[in-house]
């Protein structure tokens, strides 16, 4: 059951112990409430203040989850731990007429790989790794409204070799005006679609 320590944060700062003072300072800096704050001390308290909502402080033997831990990449994101990463290639693609986001994505992938040569796999430069073990993971930044129309299989066809493990589509790219609507080029409007690509190469 929570125990009422004191009514005002300033009294805590004046009279509280080290842990209570630390909590009070955090509250004053953040100027917000924390639903649960875990500390490695053997107490549970309830703090009240005229300018902060009531909340409870609980003791716990487990350390709190840090921002770095919470933001760490998961198996579903690209790149993930299933690849030993060697290279990252980046590109951008445009479809100025015709409003085809798949064409823009394919151009972005070609742009990423077209100015690179990776002889290490074919030459056996990586001990114990063969050409057949080359892996690719691809991340595409595509405007959200266009994502349902993206043809992933066509995008994959851009890559001449390497096992494509995953293609991840995230919000990105751009829809902007090309400045002209050319019906004979298939335009439905004057929009230009832009896609960004990151290609992760490893084994």
pLDDT tens-place string over residues 134-187: 999 999 999 999 999 999 999 999 999 999 999 999 999 999 999 999 999 999
Segments making up each domain of the chain, as ranges:
9-65, 85-202
Q: Which CATH class is domain 85-202?
A: alpha beta
Q: How many CB atoms lie within 10 A of CB 174?
A: 16
Angstrom distance (rounded) from CA 136 to CA 133: 10
CA atoms within 13 A on the CB side of 143: 17
Positive or negative, the Cα torsion across 196, 167, 132, 125? positive
- Give the contacts of 51 (CB within 8 A, at least 6 positions apart): 9
Q: Provide the terminal-to-terminal Cα distance of the chain, rounded to the nearest Å.
A: 54
Positive or negative, the Cα torsion across 2, 3, 7, 13? negative
Angstrom distance (rounded) from CA 52 to CA 180: 55
pTM above 0.75, yes or no: no
In the numeric block, which tokens belong to residue 13? Answer: 């700062």
User: For the chain, what's the residue count?
Assistant: 203
Residue 18 pLDDT class (50, 70, 90 cuts): low
Residue 59: its pLDDT value, please? 44
> Is pLDDT above 50 for 36?
no
Residue 121: its pLDDT value, please? 87
Angstrom distance (rounded) from CA 67 to CA 69: 5
């Amino acid at each position: 059951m929570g125990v009422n320590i004191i009514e005002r944060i300033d009294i805590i700062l004046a009279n509280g112990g080290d842990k209570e003072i630390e909590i009070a300072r955090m509250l004053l800096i953040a100027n917000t409430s924390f639903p649960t704050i875990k500390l490695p001390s053997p107490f549970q308290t309830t703090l009240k203040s005229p300018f902060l909502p009531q909340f409870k402080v609980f003791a716990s033997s487990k350390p709190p989850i840090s921002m770095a831990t919470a933001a760490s990449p998961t198996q579903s994101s690209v790149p993930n731990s299933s690849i030993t990463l060697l290279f990252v290639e980046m590109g951008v693609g445009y479809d100025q007429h015709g409003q085809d986001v798949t064409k823009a994505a394919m151009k972005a992938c070609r742009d990423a790989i077209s100015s690179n040569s990776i002889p290490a796999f074919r030459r056996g430069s990586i001990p114990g790794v063969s050409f057949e073990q080359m892996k690719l993971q691809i991340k595409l930044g595509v405007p959200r409204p266009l994502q349902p129309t993206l043809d992933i299989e066509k995008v994959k066809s851009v890559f001449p070799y390497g096992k494509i493990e995953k293609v991840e589509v995230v919000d990105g790219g751009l829809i902007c005006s090309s400045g002209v609507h050319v019906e004979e080029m298939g335009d439905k409007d004057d929009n230009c679609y832009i896609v960004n690509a990151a290609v992760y190469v490893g084994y």
